[in-house]
């Protein structure tokens, strides 16, 4: 595995620890300003909305600049926004600071994925994507738990810790990847054509599932699960951190195995199984009445998400074929962000009107609706080169 992949995995781990610190406390922090569940969901969606609006610009920047400076700039912007959240004087300030973080996230997410695609050989794409996702998830295992504990000391502490960890991640990338060569701007290399890529059934399936994952995993899970734990199960913020941690444990438990599976047997099968499992866990979550049921379903949801991530990113790398494709990566990220924007807002409205069960059931239906597109999509795993016969002595 290339050294650059290992460094990116380490940086992803630090980013995820910091993100996990604020995950269980952000909804409670926002509700502390005396706003409704829908307004709390807007805070979660604001981050994804800013990423969505800024992603096309980030894709254009990637065509002109190297990945590493954009990655560093994104990390530092999110760090500054996290500190600003900790000292927000009111709901409006919180909304502005959270939106600024989405701009930074667009920069480091697109540039990080572009760098990962550039430095990873085709035969290792599934495993590299799994390692990259594992870095995020191993950080996600410890982050929510620590964030819940820090919140018992000070509600601002998780946000300040997030900012500090992002600065450390930026330092790791700065000093470990400073000698990485800039991408070669070869005029003979034709960039990936976005219009042609959008016509591919495999890429359409990726966009649909990424939208659903944004809606359910990054939207509903972050906005509603902590509130469900506190308001319905009456279990407290610390248990909300445990719920997110158990999800991350289930996710990390299968990623390495799935990465090898994706590189050997293909991308479609893990995607279909993962989507069905994720939909089932989300739908049943809304009717759980005990903490142990919630934790079991969070574990199941993590397993389903772990099946999805490596396969989905490998398909994106397959359709790019090693060519420059900032616009393709931007569209891929934007579909997830659309889901992460719309999902929490719709779910918040449904909770206010009909309760958590309906909101989580609708989220499960959105995930399940993408499965037929994957049955239609072709397998994109590149064929293995034929084995060379051994030379005779």
Record the tokens describing residue 81, joined without a space.
């926004």
Q: Which CATH number do you get for residue 82?
A: 1.20.1250.20
* Residue 390 pLDDT > 50: no
d(CA 56, CA 54): 6
Q: How far apart are CA 261 and CA 99, in angstroms?
A: 37
C-alpha triplet 44, 139, 310: angle, nearest 5°: 85
> Span 199-215, mean pLDDT?
90
Give the per-residue SS3 of 121-182. Answer: CHHHHHHHHHHHHHHHHHHHHHHHHHHHHHHHHCCCHHHHHHHHHHHHHHHHHHHHCCCCCC
pLDDT value, residue 157:
83
- Which range has the worst mean pLDDT, 86-95, 104-113, 129-138, 200-209? 129-138
- What the block records as the tokens of 18 is 């910091």
The pLDDT tens digits for 287-339 are 887 888 888 988 898 888 888 888 888 888 888 776 656 678 778 878 887 88
Q: Report in angstroms the alpha-carbon separations of 240 from 15, 57, 139, 293.
A: 20, 35, 16, 13
pLDDT at 221 over 80: no
- Characterize 363-381 residue by residue with b for buried, 16 or more Cβ atoms within 10 angstroms of its Cβ, and e for exposed: bbebbbebbebbeebeebb
Q: What is the average pLDDT value for the chain, to the nearest integer? A: 80
Q: How does pLDDT run across 63-97, given as a tens digit for each residue?
A: 777 778 888 888 999 999 999 988 888 888 888 99
Alpha-carbon span 96 to 194, nearest angstrom: 32
Is the pLDDT confidence value at 391 over 60?
no
User: Does residue 105 register a pLDDT over 90?
Assistant: no
User: Closest Cα to residue 204, out of 373, 19, 12, 322?
Assistant: 373
Per the structure block, which two tokens stand in for 239?
A: 């248990």
pLDDT band of 348, cuts 50, 70, 90: confident
Answer for the pair 313, 255: CB distance below 8 angstroms, yes or no: no
Q: What band does 180 get if pLDDT is binned at 50, 70 and 90?
A: low
In a domain, 200, yes or no: yes
Residue with the bigger pLDDT between 169 and 381: it is 169
Q: Could you give the CA distance from residue 40 to residue 28 in angstroms, rounded to a whole number? A: 8
DSSP letter for 322, please. Answer: T
Tell me how many domains the chain contains.
1
In a domain, 188, yes or no: no
Q: Rank 59-68, 204-213, 303-312, 381-390 by mean pLDDT and report only the highest.
A: 204-213
Q: How many CB atoms lie within 10 A of CB 3?
A: 11
Task: Judge whether 282 lies within some domain.
Answer: yes
Note the Cα 71 to chain centre separation in Å: 16
Q: Does residue 108 sit within a domain?
A: yes
Distance of alpha carbon 90 from alpha carbon 95, whole angstroms: 9
Between residues 362 and 219, the one the model is more confident about: 362
> Per the domain annotation, does 391 fall within a domain?
no
Give the DSSP H/E element, type plus range, for residue 289.
Answer: none
Residue in 101, 117, 183 with CA at minimum distance from that of residue 332: 117
Q: What is the pLDDT of residues 2-49, one digit of tens each?
A: 777 888 888 888 888 887 778 777 877 887 787 777 787 788 778 878
Quote the tokens at residue 345. Answer: 């807002």
Name 33's Cβ contacts closer than 8 Å, sequence gap at least 6: 90, 91, 94
- Domain contains 382: no
Domain-located, residue 86: yes
What is the extent of the structural domain holding 279?
A: 3-178+193-376
Q: Mean pLDDT highest for which of 51-65, 206-220, 331-345, 367-381?
A: 367-381
pLDDT the model gives residue 352: 81
384: DSSP letter: P
Is 323 a member of any domain? yes
Q: What is the mean pLDDT of residues 342-352?
A: 82
Of all residues in the chain, what percent are helix, strand and coil, respectively (each to 5)? 80, 0, 20
pLDDT digits (tens, 9 = 90+) for 241-300: 778 778 878 877 787 688 778 888 888 888 999 999 999 988 888 788 788 888 898 889
The DSSP line for 357-383 is: HHHHHHHHHHHHTTHHHHHHSPP-PPP
User: At a CB cut-off of 8 Å and minimum separation 6, what does 211 contact?
Assistant: 335, 336, 338, 339, 366, 370
pLDDT interval class at 386 (50, 70, 90): low
- pLDDT value at position 393? 45
pLDDT score for 387: 47
pLDDT reading at 389 higher than 80: no
Can you give 23-73 as a three-state secondary structure string? CCCHHHHHHCCCCCHHHHHHHHHHHHHHHHHHHHHHHHHHHHCCHHHHHHH
């Amino acid at each position: 595995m290339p050294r650059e992949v290992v460094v990116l995995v380490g940086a992803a781990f630090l980013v995820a620890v910091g993100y996990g610190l604020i995950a269980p406390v952000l909804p409670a922090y926002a509700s502390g300003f005396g706003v409704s569940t829908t307004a709390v969901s807007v805070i979660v969606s604001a981050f994804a909305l800013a990423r969505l609006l800024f992603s096309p610009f980030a894709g254009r920047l990637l065509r002109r600049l190297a990945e590493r400076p954009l990655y560093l700039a994104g990390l530092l912007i999110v760090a500054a926004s996290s500190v600003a959240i900790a000292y927000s004087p009111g709901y409006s300030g919180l909304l502005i600071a959270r939106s600024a973080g989405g701009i930074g996230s667009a920069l480091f997410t697109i540039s990080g994925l572009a760098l990962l695609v550039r430095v990873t050989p085709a035969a290792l794409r599934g495993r590299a994507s799994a390692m990259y996702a594992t870095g995020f998830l191993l950080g996600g295992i410890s982050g929510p738990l620590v964030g819940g504990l820090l919140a018992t000391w000070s509600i601002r502490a998780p946000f300040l810790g997030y900012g500090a960890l992002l600065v450390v991640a930026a330092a790791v990338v700065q000093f470990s990847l400073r000698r990485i060569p800039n991408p070669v701007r070869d005029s003979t290399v034709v960039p990936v054509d976005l219009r042609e890529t959008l016509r591919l059934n495999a890429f359409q399936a990726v966009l649909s599932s990424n939208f659903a994952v944004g809606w359910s995993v990054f939207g509903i899970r972050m906005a509603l699960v902590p509130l469900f734990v506190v308001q319905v199960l009456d279990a407290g913020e610390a248990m909300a951190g445990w719920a997110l941690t158990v999800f991350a444990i289930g996710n990390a438990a299968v990623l390495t195995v799935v990465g090898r599976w994706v590189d050997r047997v293909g991308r479609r099968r893990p995607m279909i199984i993962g989507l069905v499992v994720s939909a089932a866990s989300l739908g049943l979550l809304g009717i759980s009445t005990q903490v142990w049921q919630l934790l079991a379903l969070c574990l199941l949801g993590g397993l389903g998400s772990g099946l999805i991530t490596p396969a989905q990113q490998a398909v994106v790398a397959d359709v790019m074929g090693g060519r420059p494709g900032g616009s393709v990566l931007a569209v891929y990220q934007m579909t997830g962000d659309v889901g992460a924007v719309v999902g929490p807002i719709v779910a918040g409205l449904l909770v206010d009107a009909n309760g958590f069960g309906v909101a989580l059931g609708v989220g499960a239906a959105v995930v399940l609706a993408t499965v037929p597109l994957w049955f239609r999509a072709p397998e994109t795993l590149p064929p293995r080169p034929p084995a060379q016969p051994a030379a005779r002595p």
